[in-house]
Amino acid sequence: MNLPVKPNETNTAVQNLYSDAYDWTNQCVKCGYCLPACPTYESMGVESASPRGRINLVKMAAEGKIDFQKDLAEPIDLCLGCRACETACPVGVPYGHILEAAKEAVENSPSANQKNKMTKIKKLALVHLFPYPKRMNRIGSAVHLYQKTGLSKLIRTSNVLQKVSPALAHLEQALPAIESSSKRIRTGTIMPAKGETKLKVAFFAGCIMDSMMSRINRLTIELLNIAGCEVILPENQNCCGALHSHQGETKQAKALAKRNIQAFMQSDSDVIVNNAGGCGASLIEYGHLLADDHEWAGAAKDFSEKSKDISQILYQLGPLPFTEEWQGIVSYQDSCHLRNVQKVQKEPRLLLQSIPGVSYVEMEGFDRCCASGGIYNLLHFDESMKILDEKMKNLKETKATTIVTVNPGCQMQMSIGIQREGAANQMKSMHLVEILAKACGLD
């Protein structure tokens, strides 16, 4: 019988993985309870696309039995990171941590040659774009211009993007209409509560949210204001680092986290609110990310404890002052990171049900990842679409005309799904904040 032994290798990637993740992989009792929860196991049908399989492969890599690039990289890369397996696991294996340790080890393994290193697009975005709010804003403005000038129409009718990359073409069409930068709220601004101040809130604007979806950010702040929050948008905040962690760029994720902690801890607020499931999950895990850093561990823990999703705060302070009736059936697609990591499930649903006129229908498989997965839908387009198409079948059965999400990635993915179904005339995807703001007459 083969027994695990401490790898006797000089390979530092093996040793790092052994010291970071080996004990976690050993917690897995291989019961398989995670299998039915995993969307990629369902769509791909092989054990290497299941959480149990991936955990075991990480363990094999940490024992030096398999090669990081040849054997581990692909199964790990094909994971959506939705972490539904964590909620199904009877023994609490920290899959998310194992996944991130594995990604880091794959990225830094000596066998990683140039070809296998982060692709150029990924590197460009992660290292030179997301961390810099000004650059992100410039892109936002550029896209705004692109949409306003009619170039977008030209590109769409010419079908040129489809020929370059179907993934990019889908994404281009799913992009929301971007507001001009003049409407964007500047950092450092304090926006007082309407009426009595019940709570002092610092708002986490995010990188993609801030540049591409600044309208949702603006509406979030207005909603918080009418719910009784004084909102401050702290200066010098930046990208949460989730995408970096997910791609194995832990060092950069830590640097971003520290800058955020510094920015928010200076603002005197009761809570830190965000409106994107993925970012929120990253924020509540700063405590874990910096647990070994003596200088930052305490502040990181405090920061994480203060971080809340917008739905939690609006529900806590509600009911909202609705002014308009909503027409039609509404359904809700959970954001995996909101549901599985932040464990927020009931608040978005209760808020939706509280809108006058809403007929709320739960979709079969609402807890199943939509396969947006950060930038998974760009990196693994075909696999992502397979999972999305299954979801759209379930969504159609609800007869919903509005599908609501609480994460920009999910929202765009659902828009892609609606386009693929050719259902853009009957159905639309909205962020929770948008539908609530509309019903409160803010839009």
Which spans of this chain sit near other proteins (rule: CB under 8 A)? 1-4, 23, 26-27, 29-33, 35-36, 45-48, 50, 52-53, 56-57, 60, 65-67, 70-72, 74-75, 90-92
Integer Cα distance of 98 and 72 in angstroms: 13
Nearer to other proteins, 70 or 183 (CB): 70
SS3 291: coil
User: Which of 80, 155, 56, 72 lies closest to 384, judged by CA?
Assistant: 80
The minimum distance between CB 70 and other proteins, in angstroms, equals: 7
Of the pair 41, 204, the CB lying nearest other proteins is at: 41
Taking the least distance from each CB to other proteins, the nearer of 183 and 346 is 346
Quick one: 26 or 119, whose CB is closer to other proteins? 26
Nearer to other proteins, 2 or 425 (CB): 2
Query: Rounded to an integer, what distance in angstroms lies between the CA atom of residue 185 and that of residue 187?
Result: 7
Interacting residues of 126 by C-beta distance below 8 A, sequence separation 6+: 118, 243, 244, 247, 249, 252
CB of 87 to other proteins, least distance (A): 12
Q: Is 5 exposed, middle or buried (0-12, 13-18, 19+ CB in 10 A)?
A: exposed
What residues form DSSP beta bridges with 307?
272
Give residues with Cβ within 8 angstroms of 56, minimum separation 6: 25, 28, 30
Q: How far is the CB of 160 from other proteins (least distance, A)?
A: 33
In one letter, which amino acid is 117?
A: K
Taking the C-alpha atoms of residue 293 and residue 286, their distance in angstroms, rounded to an integer, is: 11
- The residue (of 54 and 170) whose beta carbon lies closer to other proteins is 54
Cβ 78 to other proteins shortest distance, Å: 11
Q: How far is the CB of 19 from other proteins (least distance, A)?
A: 15
Q: How far is the CB of 2 from other proteins (least distance, A)?
A: 5
What DSSP line would sit under 157-211, residue for residue?
Answer: HHTHHHHH-HHHHHHHHHPPPPPPGGGSPPTT-EEPPSSS--EEEEE---SHHHH
Residue placing its CB nearer to other proteins in the complex, 92 or 150: 92
Residue 285 CB, shortest distance to other proteins, in Å, is: 21
Q: CB–CB of 72/107 below 8 Å?
A: no
